Structure 1
């Protein structure tokens, strides 16, 4: 066998071995990464609000928890009367929450002021909407 042909064969053998080993390593990494992703611990609840609850906070960044509810079809009066509207909230209920309040010249009828979608959360509402009742699951307080 000529030296040139021999070197070419060695190079081809080396390239083939390298590719097979690289493919094996990448496959192992893919399986390992997939396994880790499948067994990763769930993320902690936003603002510390447990699953299946609506949590309202008096401070921004989920501080000062002052009201929780697990009901999906009720109205709770007095929400926001603790010195103003919630500064942050987490809605871990499967339904949206509508916030109702009185408006100037509106008499004693409560008006829809804001909606918190199911799964919605914010660390800072801006505190611009005042409300008097929180109603879950489409319940109307009037």
Structure 2
């Protein structure tokens, strides 16, 4: 199972496994129609592509962007070069996404916000959504954060 994949602002992918294991996992992930996640400065890439969830660390779809095309997976925000909390989003997926936070005290996950399918917000008007450690974004009704 994939624990963490880190993609830098330059598009480099860092996987914590050996090369052989990473290659096998990548092949399995793509064979299953798995998760495609990229992180980049938003201005360089233009608007959020079709069939993608894009989250931004600044209002008005600016700053760093994380884009995912998965409809049944989660990713940790800490694994990306994401400077701040989620401040705006554009969900072009057919499924809702949820932002979850895990308490360092209890270990329990709490849903912070739902990013509704085929909707967007240029300013979610709530600080610190996904901005703390232990935050995950899960796409799809059956995707839940991992421990």
Interval containing the TM-score (normalised by the shorter chain)? 0.5 to 0.7
For residues 75-118 of structure 1, give each alpha carbon's deviation from its aligned partner in whole angstroms, at most 9, with x where no partner exists.
1012598333211110000000011003474x122211110110
CA distance in 1, matches of 2:81, 2:101: 11
Report 1:27-66 matches (<5 A).
48-66=47-65
Match of 1:55, SS?
strand
Q: What runs of 5+ residues in structure 2 fail to find an aligned partner?
A: 1-45
Contact 1:85 1:127 in 2 (8 A): no
TM-score (norm 1): 0.59
Q: Structure 1: how far apart are the matches of 2:63 and 2:129? A: 18
CA distance in structure 2 between the aligned counterparts of 1:109 and 1:96, rounded to whole angstroms = 21
1:1-142 equivalent positions in 2, closer than 5 A: 48-78=47-77, 82-103=82-103, 105=105, 107-131=106-130, 132-138=135-141, 139-142=143-146
List structure 1 runs of 4+ shifted beyond 6 angstroms. Answer: none
Q: Tell me, what secondary structure is at the counterpart of 2:94?
A: coil
RMSD: 2.2
Number of aligned positions between the proteins: 95
Residue aligned with 2:82, SS = coil
Q: Distance in 2 between matches of 1:65 and 1:129?
A: 15
SS class of match (1:71): coil
TM-score by length of 2: 0.57
CA offset at residue 58 of structure 1?
1.5
User: Partners in 1 of 2:64 and 2:53 — Cα distance?
Assistant: 11
